[in-house]
Amino acid sequence: MFEKLLVANRGEIAVRVMSACEELGIETVAVYSDADRDAGHVDYADEAYNVGPAPASESYLDGETIIEVANRAGADAIHPGYGFLAENAAFASQVEEAEGISWVGPSSDAMTALGEKTNARRIMQAADVPVVPGTTEPVESAAEVRELGAEFGYPIAIKAEGGGGGRGMKIVRGDDEVEDAFESAKREGEAYFDNDSVYVEKFLEAPKHVEVQILADEHGTVLHLGERDCSLQRRHQKVIEEAPSPALDSRLREAIGNAARRGVREADYTNAGTVEFLVEDGEFYFMEVNTRIQVEHTVSEEVTGIDIVREQLRIAAGEELPYTQDDIEIEGHAMEFRINAENPANGFAPTPGTLSTYDPPGGLGVRIDDAITKGDVIAGDYDSMIAKLIVRAPTRVRCLERSRRALAHFDVGVETTIPFHRLMLDDETFRTGAHTTNYLDETVSDDDLAAAVERWSTAVDDDGATGSGSTNDLVVEVEGQRFDVAVTGDVPRAASGNGGADAGGSATGSTASSTGSTGSGQVTASDAVTAEMQGTVLSVNVSPGDQVAQGEVVCVLEAMKMENDVVAPAAGSVADVAVADGDTVDMGDPLVVLE
């Protein structure tokens, strides 16, 4: 096994990889940019090296510097995580060629072969894996695209050869749209992937996105760990993923899993990978292979009990997978909620800021993968995902219930996608599992999103109040029952944690305290004015039935050789007078009850 591993990444996935290393007794090396000097992954690592300025292109994407650091640190392996350099075959090849450093991932040859989409389609066809009807060679002209439109029937998709994740994809609904779409797909392919080749597929209007997790070792074992359903996406960004897919029956599940195994075996693929499919009308079609660990690998771990990152490391070190396919059992249900620093009420715009609060949930079936803590600054330099909440339960229905519970206890001091997730947990289409990849973009309205944020925002302002409506929340006790009270008026704030002791503006030297006031100047429930310290009643100024105004003196107490006016904390009527002139009272004794 490796002795020291460099993680060429940041954030939660860097910590995820390092935690697997820790369990395997592998030392860890972090790299970080100037923006990440205090980041969680730097803290977690045994050693850490600065690799450049904040822009990723000058730090996390600088492969040469990262390999230099690996040499300097004496690391014998590099794990790329996801994003950044993870699917860069040229970088993988440089690591393979570096003396004494192993690449934790598939071979650069397999990455190249599958990265070219028509080639990947040919490999799958050779392995008898169904692909979406379309071409397995690039198309050269708009005229050729029109012929394909006639052959498959519109709509069709023109996709960039080097594409993925929705970039470089154009949907065409008729002959007249072909010319522009063809040229624009080529331009995007060139701009994003340095490759202007494009190909054509029949476009499926409302498919499910189902992907199969694969593990393959260098000794010929290829396993699938079941599938994930990632159909809930917004503009090609996954937001909630789950395993198993609610869209598959056991026959389809077995067929899609075996197809994925055949496909990666055909590609001589090793390490962890994901085969993506579209599923529509009980049929599945290969879409692409992701040659990396994915954000949502966690849900497969939760339902199989297999530590996928650990197996990645073992495979890269030349070890054998310790399972056969028959050993893999899918148990229960898991969902992952991406907690992004984004405001769903503002087009999911990023919400950088300081985490005045960060208090994630815990308890049975709840897993948090993150690399942040209270007080951290969320800068705008990188991806907005700040944590993943992964919830596991015996059934999908119980997973929904448990997710509701967990999300209700997730406090984050900036606007996040949490209100969006809570909206989805109330959404009939999502709850029944009927949602397809176009559901969010076509069905969930801006008004629904705004209402969800209004209702469930976790962003905390300086007063410790949540939500946008109130700025002065108080905790009060009324006859022993605790209430959280939203105060909308402009009142002096409670100085201590017992909530509202001074609300209502008592006179200087008051030795009374009160509960039950909203602070808005009006008693809302039965409200005992109590003595704040031991003393003697000098005079009682009110009788039952009297109306008193806020701040009106209800009695006078002598305590510590001083006369103290006890005032009504809020307006109300006197329900009861508990003391008479000359009585001695203890701290906490009721004096007058208002209502």
State the residues that interact with ligand MV4 by CB under 6 A: 132, 157, 164-166, 169, 201-204, 207, 209, 233, 236, 278, 287-288, 437
Question: Is 166 or 220 the residue whose CB approaches ligand MV4 more closely?
Answer: 166
Q: Compute the distance between CA of residue 139 and CA of residue 197 in angstroms, rounded to an integer.
A: 7
Q: Compute the distance between CA of residue 29 and CA of residue 49 in angstroms, rounded to an integer.
A: 8
Could you tell me which of 267, 268, 277 has the C-alpha nearest to residue 124?
267
Nearest approach, Cβ of residue 437 and ligand MV4 (Å): 3
Q: Compute the distance between CA of residue 404 and CA of residue 423 in angstroms, rounded to an integer.
A: 10
476, two tokens: 């009060």
Question: Is 153 or 166 the residue whose CB approaches ligand MV4 more closely?
Answer: 166
Q: Compute the distance between CA of residue 284 and CA of residue 582 in angstroms, rounded to an integer.
A: 87
| Closest residue to ligand MV4: CB criterion | 437
The single residue listed with the structure tokens 């050269």 is: 140
Nearest approach, Cβ of residue 226 and ligand MV4 (Å): 18
Beta bridge partners of 340: 385
Nearest approach, Cβ of residue 131 and ligand MV4 (Å): 9
Q: Report yes or no: 42 and 66 within 8 Å, Cβ to Cβ.
A: no
Nearest approach, Cβ of residue 294 and ligand MV4 (Å): 13
Question: Is 72 or 236 the residue whose CB approaches ligand MV4 more closely?
Answer: 236
Question: Is 146 or 402 the residue whose CB approaches ligand MV4 more closely?
Answer: 146
Nearest approach, Cβ of residue 320 and ligand MV4 (Å): 32
Nearest approach, Cβ of residue 367 and ligand MV4 (Å): 24
CB atoms within 10 A of CB 42: 19
Question: Is 133 or 467 the residue whose CB approaches ligand MV4 more closely?
Answer: 133
The single residue listed with the structure tokens 């909308």 is: 488
Nearest approach, Cβ of residue 440 and ligand MV4 (Å): 9
Name all contacts of 392-397 with Cβ < 8 Å and 24+ positions apart. Answer: 392/302, 392/303, 392/332, 392/333, 392/334, 392/365, 392/367, 393/332, 393/333, 393/334, 393/365, 394/332, 394/333, 395/332, 395/333, 396/242, 396/246, 396/333, 396/433
Question: Is 44 or 182 the residue whose CB approaches ligand MV4 more closely?
Answer: 182
Question: Is 165 or 544 the residue whose CB approaches ligand MV4 more closely?
Answer: 165
CB atoms within 10 A of CB 376: 16
Nearest approach, Cβ of residue 134 and ligand MV4 (Å): 7
Nearest approach, Cβ of residue 250 and ligand MV4 (Å): 23
Q: Compute the distance between CA of residue 296 and CA of residue 302 in angstroms, rounded to an integer.
A: 11
Nearest approach, Cβ of residue 340 and ligand MV4 (Å): 17
Residue 134: what are its φ and ψ, rounded to 5°? 165, -165
Question: Is 44 or 277 the residue whose CB approaches ligand MV4 more closely?
Answer: 277
Q: What share of the chain is helix, strand, coil (3-state, %, to 5)?
A: 30, 30, 40
Nearest approach, Cβ of residue 406 and ligand MV4 (Å): 25
Nearest approach, Cβ of residue 477 and ligand MV4 (Å): 51
Question: Is 131 or 412 the residue whose CB approaches ligand MV4 more closely?
Answer: 131
Question: Is 263 or 519 the residue whose CB approaches ligand MV4 more closely?
Answer: 263
Question: Is 168 or 572 the residue whose CB approaches ligand MV4 more closely?
Answer: 168
Residue 68: exposed, middle, or buried by beta-carbon count in 10 A (0-12, 13-18, 19+)?
A: middle
Question: Is 10 or 209 the residue whose CB approaches ligand MV4 more closely?
Answer: 209
| Amino acid code (one letter) for 139 | V
| Region label for 516, one of left (φ > 0), alpha (ψ between -120 and 50) or beta (otherwise) | left
CA quadruple 338, 343, 349, 350: dihedral, nearest 10: -60
312, two tokens: 């990645």
Question: Is 277 or 410 the residue whose CB approaches ligand MV4 more closely?
Answer: 277
Question: Is 287 or 460 the residue whose CB approaches ligand MV4 more closely?
Answer: 287
Q: Report yes or no: 266 and 222 within 8 Å, Cβ to Cβ.
A: no
Nearest approach, Cβ of residue 205 and ligand MV4 (Å): 7
Q: What is the CA radius of gyration of the chain?
A: 31
Q: How many CA atoms lie within 13 A of 110 on its CB side?
A: 22
Nearest approach, Cβ of residue 92 and ligand MV4 (Å): 21
> DSSP per residue over 99-166, as a string?
TT-EESSS-HHHHHHHHSHHHHHHHHHHTT--B-SB-SS-B--HHHHHHHHHHH-S-EEEEEEEEETT
